[in-house]
Amino acid sequence: MKVVAKVLCVLGVLSGPAFGQDVSPEAATGRGQTFAVEAQKFMVAVANPLASKAGYKALQDGGNAIDAMVVAQMVLGLVEPQSSGLGGGAFLVYHNAKLGKITTYDGREKAPGHATPDLFLKPDGTPLKFFKAVVGGRAVGVPGTLMLMYKTHLRYGKLSWKRVLAPAIALAESGFSVSPRLSKLISNDKDRLATYPDTKAYFFDASGQPLVAGHVLKNPQYAQTLRLIAAQGPAVFYQGEIATDIVKAVQGAKNNPGLLNLNDLKSYTVVERPPVCVLYRTYRVCGMGPPSSGALTVGQILGILENFDMSKRTPKTIHLMTEASRLAFADRGRYMADSDFVDLPATGLLDVQYLKDRAALIDPSTAALNVQSGTPPWAEAKEQAMDNAIEFPSTSHLSIVDGDGNAVSLTTTIENGFGSRVMARGFLLNNELTDFSFVPEVNGLPVANRLQAGKRPRSSMSPTIVYGPDGKLKFVLGSPGGSRIIGYVAKTLVAVIDWKMNVAEALALPHFVDRFGKVDLESGPDQQDLATALRSMGHTVNVRDLNSGLHIIAVQPHGLVGAADPRREGLVLGD
């Protein structure tokens, strides 16, 4: 196992020019890898070392990328429960090497059949406060992660279904050591986690204190849940005894019960969708389309930047990226939602001339005072209001390339950290319905991302696969981070394509994200110079921690090179 074939230590990577080759203070704790990893045939890059090792072992044992994905996801649901799991949803972008084909699978949660657009409005018509909507059963959507794992494994997997669930079952029974990151997150959320007996019993010790790092945490309920799923498949989860317990937990959540019922679970389906691709320079960048806004918004940012010289990393090019992001987010807020329910100009949003026209709105030296959505080419043009949905940064991502050249880019979530704080059968349930706009219409105009029965909420998850100028697989990447995911992925792509950075440098590069008119700039020793430069161009700048969780694998002529975000505890392993 070639884990440290090429070391790029923190000081070595980050001693470059000003404006951003310093990791954040959080990154400097060394929780994640700070070097690139080389491999010959296969590689996994996952958000937790235990999940990485389990996925790596599946590849060692003759499994493929899909097998490793299922193994890693099931372990992540145990060791990183705040971010993803059986109670959530996921998007998969999959490169099938044998067919030379890319496709995507939508395992996003769905709104219950009895949900109405006013679910998050108070009696006076004003929206609920975010956490009033989150904690409890009200915001729980139909989970899709398990069905996505099962359907794709049934189609592509090589190892048995029982084999890919076995590592998580064993770890749940024997227990795992609570990481410093998980301990900190439990402590930060202790008041909400104490709301419900099951959640409190699991995340607190016998004296009622939040679990500390190093505590060995066992989850026999999760082990039994996976045993049932291993033996009976997803039917027991979506129609059987597990489904019954999920519905009881949601509808019985005190103070904030939900609408999810057995029919909602029984009728859930995973949808295979065509990828959304855009040409950037000579690279084809592909990702997940609606109900994700990820590939469309990343594609718009890149399509706008295509009209500028981005070859050097300077305050000017960072200014251009933030302005391109603002323009793309304006379109995102007005147009993007679940395309099974809402007509949207997907082709028009990526139209080359339209993006050229949008790029012409950018002043290369001055931030725009006001940014509006555009009017993309659209035969079915409709008036729609801007969205006000909040999307919080608790998600996970894994990137995998197997020995046959198949590639998986999976972004997976339960939405807010620890989701709804409601547990069933050893796993947390999502609060995904809060990704809908709380307000269904504005001044009589409908919001595209309004809540509707059976609809999938818009997401920013951006699992991405990139093909090089030769048409061959080049990069596999993605990140958690709420709506900032889009900026993290776009910046990483510019870093590896335009700025010619290696993957470790690209991930360690401090973030700069502008979604709605304010630049969030990751704190770091040299960042004040960049902040000053951006402010001189008229930007409002907020210097703060930005905790991404990027995982990237690059396919090189000599093999694979991967990196995990040093801000978290991810691990890259290769043969």
Separation in Å, CA 544 to CA 117, 310, 355, 520: 35, 25, 31, 7
Q: How many CB atoms lie within 10 A of CB 188?
A: 12
- Distance between CA atoms of 309 and 311, rounded to whole angstroms? 6
Distance CA 371, CA 348 (A): 19
Q: CA-to-CA distance for 324 and 327, rounded, in angstroms? A: 5
**How far is 244 from 452, CA to CA, in rounded Å?**
24
- Is residue 70 within 8 Å of 442, Cβ to Cβ? no
- From CA 11, how far away is CA 114, in angstroms rounded? 55
- Residue 298, classed as helix, strand or coil, is helix
Whole-angstrom distance, CA of residue 109 vs CA of residue 141: 5
Residue positions counted in the chain? 575
**Burial (0-12, 13-18, 19+ Cβ within 10 Å), 10:** middle
Q: Is 199 a catalytic residue?
A: no
Alpha helices in 336-391 (DSSP H): 346-349, 352-359
Query: What kind and span of H or E run contains 399?
Result: strand 395-401
Check 395, 411, 412, 492 and give the catalytic one. Answer: 395
Query: In a 3-state reduction of DSSP, which class is residue 340?
Result: coil
Catalytically active residues, by annotation: 395
